[in-house]
Amino acid sequence: MPTVEAIDDAAVILHLEIEVSEVNRPKLLEFCKRAFPVYESLGGCRMALYEDRDKTGSFDEVGYYQTAEDYTRSEKAIEDDPEQAALIKEWRSLLKGPPRVRIVSRRL
């Protein structure tokens, strides 16, 4: 399946602004190394993790989706695929609170 090679290839970008405690920071980094390939395995998606340079433990987890259909398929997998559902449950257990979610779509 195709994958997003560059940000310009993304029709939909998912931003998950999250915070983790100091003790959970290394756990989140390890988690993302395991989870991102699973999320990306559906195709049409590239995941990235950015940390705020001024606030350790504050992250922007970003999903770049090649098409709106790729985004929809990915969201459905989180609900329907037991492996992905378990990953989301584990991810939420690492967070200080609920993520701030922003979804943007390319218009030009």
pLDDT digits (tens, 9 = 90+) for 69-102: 999 999 999 999 999 999 999 999 999 999 999 9
Threshold 0.85, pTM exceeds: yes
pLDDT per residue as tens digits for the range 55-67: 999 999 999 999 9
Q: Which of 37-43's residues contact partners 24+ apart within 8 Å by CB, and which partners? A: 38/83, 38/84, 38/87, 39/63, 39/74, 39/84, 39/87, 40/3, 42/1, 42/70, 42/73, 42/74, 42/77, 43/1, 43/2, 43/3, 43/70
What is the bridge-based pairing of β-strands 100-105 and 12-19?
Answer: antiparallel
Q: Per DSSP, which regions of 20-87 are E strands? A: 45-51, 58-65
